[in-house]
Amino acid sequence: MGINQFVLVVEDEEGIGRFIQAVLEASDYKVLSAKTGKEALRVAASYTPDLILLDLGLPDMDGLELLKSLRHWSSIPVIVVSARLHEREKVEALDLGADDYITKPFGTSELLARIRTALRHRNNNLTNEQGQEMTIFQFDDLQVNFLKRQVTLNGVEIHFTPIEYKIVALLASHAGKVLTHDFIMHEIWGPYANENQALRVNMSNIRRKIEANPAEPHYIRTEVGVGYRMLEPERD
C-alpha cells in the first residue's frame, strides 16, 4: 500500500485530476495537485513527493519541458500520463528521464501497478530489502543469476550468446520499466550503435528460447515503436 507516500498529480483537466486523486487516496497514497507546469515545479521543490504523475498537455508549458527541467535537479520517479499516441513522444519522454508512460484512457489496476513498480525501483534499485546488491531475478519459471551469468527456465539452463545474455540481463535488471531501443543499443553495443536491426534479431532469438509462444510473449513485452519491458511479479 501507499502509506505515507506522496504522489504529485500534474493534470489540468479537473475531472481527470479528481478521478486520479480518488484512486490514489483509496490506496492510501497522499496526493498533491498541480494544474500548471510552474506550479508543479514549485510543489515538487517544496514537498519532494515520492512520485509524479505528469500530463504532457499543460496550459503554460509542454510536459516534456517540465520533465527536462525537473531532471536537472531531481530523480523523483515520473510516470507520464497522456492522451498523446505518437510513439516519438513516448520515446522522447523516456529518454528525457521518465520512468514510465501510460496512455489515456487507462485502467486503475494498471495505473496502481505502474506506480508500485516505479516506487519500488526508486527505493530498491538493484538491491534487496537488506540493501544488498541484487544477484537473482525471478519471474515465474524464468530466473536470471547475475553472478553466474546464467539464465534458467523451469530449472533448465538456457544457452544464450553473449549478446543475448547481455540483453536479457539488462532487461531483468530494470524489470517493470520500459527500455527504449536507443537505450538498449547504447548499453549493449556502445555509443555508436545507430540501427536496431541487430536488436530485433537478437530479441527474436531470445524469445524463441524462453517463450512458449514467441508471438504472445509472457516474459518480455514489446512496447511498439518504443522498446521492450521485462515483466516482473506483482508485490504488495
Write down all domains in the chain, each with its CATH number in brackets: 6-124 (3.40.50.2300), 136-230 (1.10.10.10)
Q: Residue 162: is its pLDDT beyond 50?
A: yes
Would you state the pLDDT for residue 10? 96
Confidence (pTM): 0.63
Overall average pLDDT of the 185-212 stretch: 85
In terms of phi and psi (left: phi > 0; alpha: psi -120 to 50; beta: otherwise), the region of 154 is left
Dump pLDDT digits (tens) for 28-63: 999 999 999 999 998 988 887 889 999 998 999 999
Side-chain half-sphere CA neighbours of 127 within 13 A: 8
Sorting pLDDT into bands at 50, 70 and 90, what band is 85? low
The answer to whether the CB of 35 falls within 8 A of the CB of 59 is yes
Q: How far apart are CA 110 and CA 72, in angstroms?
A: 29
Q: Residue 236: is its pLDDT beyond 60?
A: no
Q: Which burial class, exposed, middle or buried, applies to 100 when counting CB atoms under 10 A from its CB (0-12, 13-18, 19+)?
A: buried
- How many residues in the chain? 236
Dump pLDDT digits (tens) for 111-154: 999 998 888 776 544 444 334 456 889 999 999 998 788 999 99
Strands, E assignment, the chain = 6-10, 30-34, 51-54, 78-82, 100-103, 136-139, 142-145, 150-153, 156-158, 178-180, 220-223, 227-230
Would you state the pLDDT for residue 172? 92
Q: Residue 228: is its pLDDT beyond 60?
A: yes
Which positions ≥6 away from 195 have C-beta within 8 Å?
A: none
Cα–Cα distances in angstroms (integers) from residue 20 to residues 33, 66, 104, in the given order = 10, 20, 12
Q: What's phi and psi for 102, nearest 5 deg? A: -120, 130
Structure-block grid coordinates of residue 50: 515520492
Dump pLDDT digits (tens) for 103-113: 888 899 999 99
Dump pLDDT digits (tens) for 3-20: 468 899 999 999 999 999
Q: How far apart are CA 96 and CA 156, in angstroms?
A: 39
Sorting pLDDT into bands at 50, 70 and 90, what band is 204? very high
